Structure 1
Amino acid sequence: MSAGRGSYLSVTWTDEVTGREGYLVVDRLIRGLASGGLRMRDGCTVEEVRGLAEAMTRKEALNYTPGARYIPLGGAKGGIDCDPRSDEAQGMLTRYLVAMGPYLERVWATGEDLGLTQTMIDRAVADAGLESSIQALDPYLDDPDRAKARLAAGFAVTVDGVGLDTLVGGYGVAAAALVALDQLDRPRAATRAFIQGFGSMGGATARYLVKAGVAVVGVSDADGVIANPDGLDVEHLLRHRDHLGAIDRSALGAADTQLPRDAWLDVDAELLVPAAVSYAIDAVDADRVRAGLVVEAANLPVTPPAEAALTARGVTIVPDVVANSATNSWWWWTLFGDIGPTADEAFARIDTAMGDLVGRLFDRSAKDGTTLRAAAHAIAEENHADLVERWGRRRPADLG
């Protein structure tokens, strides 16, 4: 998985109706399979999708547990250049899935990502005449119907009225942040957090940080920043956001203040969680980061030049391939039967996985004298090599 090694497959598709493009990048294969979500956003590029596919390869490999039923896959990613709120979105999504049908049938298992919900994907899958967005995995399941019923049961679970599937990602980010705070000997009760983005990932991260005793002093959405130095009432804000994470400003508390959207790095906090878009912190923005710990909930939110500048200042960054991996892992743990479709089993498994993985990152980083990201990449390289040696890259011949 070294830089510049090239992807296994890259497909660019042009929609005959809108003229816009969609992309699929399969970075690597294990047993002929790759996993990675499908995103939709205005301005999505093949370069963005390629970077995300490479990250998925690492994310899968990092969650390798020998002896588990879930054997990690290769990495892939899909992307569609379209505003998901536009009238064109659902139709373009369906046409994209029709075009990518041969890959979905045999190679690529996908699900919701930025701009898309699983409900939107499932509707488009049905309209495209496909069985499911994960049907490529069917030959590897002991009982596909039972496995998919188990996953469907997991999606049906709610916690305080919120779907488990929208909570596990943010729960994992919060768990990673808490382990990192412990590793850095920073008391939770003395830690203030800022969350950029208040959708499913950012909202759940905020919820579970507060439950662990961390004060969330600021959040941002598409309309700007909401801050309170004494801590926001996160549960109240969650009850007054829409499905895209926008907060109803009429519901703010008397002590809550509003700031412009570009002021999200100006709020004093020891923990910063970028949970919105990629490349949110560049080399210029790095000088404005006040936190000593950054935990990447979004994919690729810190650019390499920014990371170099932050590292030079002593800022610790828990990389996205670790921090936001719980959603992907929860899908496969549940599908393959490593856990049952309950919130208790999901959260317990995430706590265990994040405790182990983030702990190993700090140990490896200290041993090698590198950043946590470099440590994550090294562990992923080793795990990926082991997966290839044990399971191979190609689909077994007896499966056709």
Structure 2
Amino acid sequence: MTAIEVRRAASPLDDARTSLGEAIDILGYSDGMRQMLATPRREMTVAIPLRRDNGQVEVFTGHRVQHNLSRGPAKGGLRYSAAVDLDEVRALAMWMTWKCALLDVPYGGAKGGVAVDPRQLTLDELERLTRRYTSEILPMIGPARDIPAPDIGTNEQTMAWIMDTYSTNVGYTVPGVVTGKPLSLGGSRGRASATSRGVTVIALEALRHRGIEPSSATAAVQGFGKVGRDAARFLFEAGVRVQAVSDVDGAVFASGGLDLDALGEHVDLTGSVVGFAAAEPIDPADLLELELGLLVPAAVEGVIHEGNADRIRARVVVEGANGPTTSEADRMLAERDVFVVPDILANAGGVLVSYFEWVQGNQSYWWSQREVEDRLRDRMSSAWHAVLEGAQQRGTSLRTAATCIAVERVAEAHRLRGLYP
């Protein structure tokens, strides 16, 4: 069973709206405010005809959703995955709104996606798909409108194609239309590993809060891609014994801890964690149920759900992915005193350094790797303490406290701007 197959069938949009509803009730906002915050500001669904290398034409479907624009231009990744649908993109855009507000970054939330398995396309086909998708959503994006970034199935090369396509259409080079670009095109040092580094900062804070020293902690990381791979490495460097990791093809386990350097070399060579000789294979679903200090679900939405929440034995869950824990599972874990750190806090390092990249681009002045990492650590730690204090004051979970802080900031922006006309 793969990581994708353990997802629940229900839409993550239900969970996003449930979290919002809980925050609205606590904050005492009107039904009108609830509707405004639950409804995306703009949506676009486009057909993307692609001429394959063999000359045949295939049509893919793409989306771009801008959830909220009250605190600034929209910000959010672009995902290439066969599982992409409009409700998923809506949920991810909403979570981005809360994430930006929680970190006090002057953006609203957006998200994009194309329903395609990028592994089934050649590099030339991916370029043509990206450029056509960009041309279709061109009216929505721009450095002061909506700024895409990499997500599942996309990377810095994808962002370079988007930047070039946009720049060609407007007639001059616009580096700020995307973040997560190559360094040579105005990218920021530290951006590629920013989400992972932020996850690690929060995970270490959460472990210590629960009385677990990192040097004595065990961990498992679901997902060995953009977030999971570097998160596993950073945890290992902090002294945590990473016993298990998984990817879309399978999972591996070593009770004494995985050699992350050797595993990385194996993945670079073969494309998967499967077959790593210095570990034993396990079912990806079983990875979630190991007895551990720390579990980092860093793959896709809905992997911890009503069907397996009662078997989660980790003491701390830090959400590296967006929406990996369903609302019902969240309640079940809380009843069992499993400490869950929500995605809008735990994985906010990516959008934080995307903001740093945007700022650097606007100033045409580039920061050192150390400056980026120090600023990331400071902002993530400040957000952690604010959320922890909010949870203690309100007597709520971290997720509810984080959502309340974010929703309050967005609602205040709505109030100050007023309703036009």
Shift of 1:223: 2.4
8 Å Cα contact 2:292/2:314 also seen in 1: yes
Residue among 64, 77, 92 paired with 1:52: 92
Letter in 1 for 2:300: V
Shift of 1:181: 1.3
Aligned residue in 1 for 2:113: 79
Residue among 402, 406, 412 paired with 1:376: 402
Shift of 1:103: 0.9
Residue by residue, what CA displacement relative to the aligned partner does 1:353-389 show, whole Å, maximum 9, x if unpaired? 1211112211111111111110001111222244456
Shift of 1:340: 4.7
- Unaligned 5+ runs, structure 2: 1-19, 25-33, 51-57
Q: Distance in 2 between matches of 1:243 and 1:367?
A: 50
Aligned residue in 2 for 1:261: 284
Shift of 1:327: 1.1
Letter in 2 for 1:39: R
Aligned residue in 2 for 1:311: 334
Letter in 2 for 1:111: A
Cα root mean square deviation, aligned: 2.8
Q: Distance in 1 between matches of 2:310 and 2:384?
A: 26
Letter in 1 for 2:67: D
Shift of 1:216: 0.5
Q: Distance in 2 between matches of 1:166 and 1:278?
A: 21
- After TM superposition, the structure 1 = structure 2 runs for residues 1-400 of structure 1, keeping only pairs within 5 Å, are 4=35, 5-17=38-50, 18-30=58-70, 33-64=73-104, 72-87=106-121, 88-105=125-142, 107-127=145-165, 129-130=168-169, 131-132=173-174, 134-135=176-177, 152=185, 154-155=187-188, 157=189, 164-242=190-268, 246-247=272-273, 249-250=275-276, 252-253=277-278, 256-337=279-360, 340-388=366-414, 392=417
Q: Distance in 1 between matches of 2:270 and 2:320?
A: 16
Shift of 1:268: 2.5
Aligned length: 368
Residue by residue, what CA displacement relative to the aligned partner does 1:16-66 show, whole Å, maximum 9, x if unpaired? 4533311111111036621111111002110000000000101111111xx
Q: Distance in 2 between matches of 1:280 and 1:307?
A: 12
Q: Distance in 1 between matches of 2:301 and 2:126?
A: 21
Is the deviation greater in 355-364 or in 84-93?
Answer: 84-93
Letter in 2 for 1:21: T
Letter in 2 for 1:54: M
Is the deviation greater in 237-246 or in 281-290?
Answer: 237-246
Q: Distance in 2 between matches of 1:320 and 1:194?
A: 17
Check 1:8–1:259 CA distance in 2 against 1; reply closer, same or farther (3 A cut).
same
Shift of 1:330: 0.7
Identity %, equivalent residues: 31
Question: What secondary structure does 2:300 align onto?
Answer: coil
Aligned residue in 1 for 2:30: none
Aligned residue in 2 for 1:144: none
Is the deviation greater in 26-35 or in 311-320?
Answer: 26-35
Shift of 1:151: 8.8
Question: What secondary structure does 1:72 align onto?
Answer: coil
Q: Distance in 1 between matches of 2:312 and 2:271?
A: 23
Q: Distance in 2 between matches of 1:153 and 1:110?
A: 15
Moved runs in structure 1, 4+ residues, more than 6 A?
148-151
8 Å Cα contact 2:252/2:273 also seen in 1: no
8 Å Cα contact 2:100/2:109 also seen in 1: yes
TM-score (norm 1): 0.84
Q: Distance in 2 between matches of 1:8 and 1:273?
A: 32
Check 1:184–1:290 CA distance in 2 against 1; reply closer, same or farther (3 A cut).
same
Question: What secondary structure does 2:141 align onto?
Answer: helix
Letter in 1 for 2:44: V
8 Å Cα contact 1:168/1:346 also seen in 2: no
Check 1:101–1:57 CA distance in 2 against 1; reply closer, same or farther (3 A cut).
same
8 Å Cα contact 1:15/1:21 also seen in 2: yes
Check 1:133–1:116 CA distance in 2 against 1; reply closer, same or farther (3 A cut).
farther
TM-score (norm 2): 0.80
Question: What secondary structure does 2:139 align onto?
Answer: helix
Question: What secondary structure does 1:61 align onto?
Answer: helix
Q: Distance in 2 between matches of 1:244 and 1:332?
A: 34
Q: Distance in 1 between matches of 2:80 and 2:161?
A: 15
Shift of 1:235: 2.1
Question: What secondary structure does 1:20 align onto?
Answer: strand
Q: Distance in 2 between matches of 1:245 and 1:62?
A: 35
Question: What secondary structure does 2:340 align onto?
Answer: strand
Q: Distance in 1 between matches of 2:159 and 2:252?
A: 32
Shift of 1:176: 0.5
Q: Distance in 2 between matches of 1:393 and 1:239?
A: 54
Q: Distance in 2 between matches of 1:258 and 1:379?
A: 42
8 Å Cα contact 1:183/1:359 also seen in 2: no
8 Å Cα contact 1:197/1:245 also seen in 2: no
Q: Distance in 2 between matches of 1:259 and 1:326?
A: 30
Q: Distance in 2 between matches of 1:379 and 1:27?
A: 17
Shift of 1:393: 8.6
